[in-house]
Amino acid sequence: MKVPILDLKPAYAELRAELDAAYHRVMESGWVLLAKELESFEAEYATSVGAKHCVGVANGLEAMQLVLMALGVGPGDEVIVPSHGYIATWLAVTHVGAKPVPVEPDPQTYNLDPNRLAAAITPRTKVILPIHLYGQTADMEAINAIAAARGLFVLEDAAQSHGALCRGRAAGALGHAAGVSFYPSKNLGALADAGAVTTSDDQLADKLRHLRNYGSKVRYHHEYLGLNSRLSELQAAFLRAKLPHLPAWNARRALLAGRYFTQLRGVGDLVLPTVPAWAAPVWHLFVIRTAHREALQAHLASRDIGTQIHYPIPPHLSSAYAFAGWKPGAFPLAEKFAHEVLSLPIGPHHPPAQIDHVCLAIGEFFAGLRQTA
Ligand SMILES: *Cc1c(COP(=O)(O)O)cnc(C)c1O
């Protein structure tokens, strides 16, 4: 049995009629940018999140970068980011000229640890930028409380958390604004790069509508130094077709996560995900930890089971950040997790039998370890 880590074909097979109709609608409209499909998607996505506005942009990285630009964050400013996460979050900060200030994760949830937040805040801090990693929100109640006390802006990185809840409220409406990615592998994925900002701040939303389009809303009248960062009509139409299916697809992921929990608890030295009582994750990834990661990954590969590592090198040790001078040991938790994490297959189109097969192969691996020990 072959178990791919990700396969986009079954999604098309399930939604062929809707996606084909979306394609034809755009082709026949004659409009390819900044028109009706985008406007409708923005309204529908904002509603689904519980935010007042959604502003479609080209991708998740630029969504966050544009918010920082809109806020005037730049050289001399600091933005707090998770030490354990994806480099895009840091790049958004670096690209506006500000300095990413990493904070270590809560070792249970892998998300930015609110208990370590206060110590990282300085007079230069402008924004706190937590990621809702692997589909589970950060502890936004604690983070928002600290931000409010210090007058700081909270920007969520909601790229992995479409539909995830924190105390009943959706990712994307938990801070002052959120950057969202619709990269094809995300829980809500377009068929190319796409992204958005959600916010309930009228002024910020208006400024973002300029900034994504050369700083202009009225053609050839440029109010700001903007980017070209637009979400195309075609991708907006595809996203409109997929959005109504998001809750059901997330529910399928949750079912598979349940299967992993049942079958993997107590197996070998595995550390399974922790879900706090207030969190309702959407299982963008199912991430386990083991000291035997490389051997386990090789064993699963030999059984045709795809896995991935999110992420093998923490941002602070990436060559791209060599200029900043962080040394190994600077963020020990991020470094430890980078050595131990392994993402197992989980997606709305994995049949439960495939997940059972993965669990069997993992059991087999650890049984083999015991014998050789
Ligand atoms: C995917 C992702 C991004 C970047 O989104 P793009 O649309 O690929 O630019 C940012 N942050 C996190 C946590 C992501 O998973």
Q: What is the pLDDT of residue 332?
A: 98
Q: What is the pLDDT of residue 371?
A: 86
Could you tell me if the CB of 195 is within 6 A of ligand 1? yes
Q: CATH assignment of 9-244, given 3.20.20.70, 3.40.640.10, 3.40.50.1860, 1.10.10.10?
A: 3.40.640.10
Q: How far is CA 30 from CA 23, 33, 212, 278, 310, in A?
A: 11, 10, 21, 46, 40
According to CATH, the topology of domain 246-372 is: Aspartate Aminotransferase, domain 1 (3.90.1150)
Give strand ranges (E) for 58-139: 78-82, 99-103, 125-128
Could you tell me if the CB of 66 is within 6 A of ligand 1? no
Q: How far is the CA of 67 from the centre of ligand 1 (A)?
A: 15
Per-residue pLDDT of 193-218, as tens digits, reads 999 999 999 999 999 999 999 999 88
Mean pLDDT of 77-89: 98
The yes-or-no verdict on residue 261 having pLDDT over 90 is yes
Residue nearest to atom 12 of ligand 1 (CA): 159
Return the best residue to mutate from 183, 185, 311 for the ligand 1 pocket (most ligand atoms within 8 A of CB).
183
Q: Round the average pLDDT of the chain to a whole number and report it.
A: 98
Tally of CB atoms within 10 A around 189: 20
Q: What is the pLDDT of residue 182?
A: 98
Q: What is the pLDDT of residue 164?
A: 98
Q: What is the pLDDT of residue 258?
A: 98
| Locus of tokens 């996606």 | 19
- pTM here is 0.98
Could you tell me if the CB of 111 is within 6 A of ligand 1? no
Could you tell me if the CB of 60 is within 6 A of ligand 1? yes
Q: How far is the CA of 10 from the centre of ligand 1 (A)?
A: 23
The yes-or-no verdict on residue 108 having pLDDT over 90 is yes
| Tokens at 121, concatenated | 């805040």
Q: How far is the CA of 195 from the centre of ligand 1 (A)?
A: 9
Could you tell me if the CB of 45 is within 6 A of ligand 1? no
Q: Is the separation of the CB atoms in 229 and 145 below 8 Å?
A: no
Q: How far is the CA of 151 from the centre of ligand 1 (A)?
A: 27
Confidence of residue 370 (pLDDT cuts 50, 70, 90): confident
Torsion over CA of 270, 161, 195 and 349, rounded to 10 degrees?
70
Burial (CB count <10 Å: 0-12, 13-18, 19+), residue 206: middle
User: Distance between CA 67 and CA 76 in Å, rounded?
Assistant: 17
| Locus of tokens 């939604």 | 15
Which among 113, 112, 114, 72 has a CA at the least distance from the CA of 96? 72
Mean pLDDT of 110-123: 98
Per-residue pLDDT of 275-304, as tens digits, reads 999 999 999 999 999 999 999 999 999 999
Could you tell me if the CB of 179 is within 6 A of ligand 1? no
Confidence of residue 156 (pLDDT cuts 50, 70, 90): very high
The yes-or-no verdict on residue 64 having pLDDT over 80 is yes
Mean pLDDT of 93-117: 98
Percent of the chain with pLDDT over 90: 98
Per-residue pLDDT of 219-256, as tens digits, reads 899 999 999 999 999 999 999 999 999 999 999 999 99
Could you tell me if the CB of 156 is within 6 A of ligand 1? no
Domain boundaries in the chain? 9-244, 246-372
Could you tell me if the CB of 157 is within 6 A of ligand 1? yes
Q: How far is the CA of 92 from the centre of ligand 1 (A)?
A: 10
The yes-or-no verdict on residue 334 having pLDDT over 80 is yes
Burial (CB count <10 Å: 0-12, 13-18, 19+), residue 367: exposed
Evaluate whether 9-244 and 246-372 have a shared fold: no
The atom number, within ligand 1, closest to the CA of 195 reads 7
Q: CA triplet 176, 180, 181: central angle to 5 degrees?
A: 165
Confidence of residue 113 (pLDDT cuts 50, 70, 90): very high
Q: How far is the CA of 157 from the centre of ligand 1 (A)?
A: 8
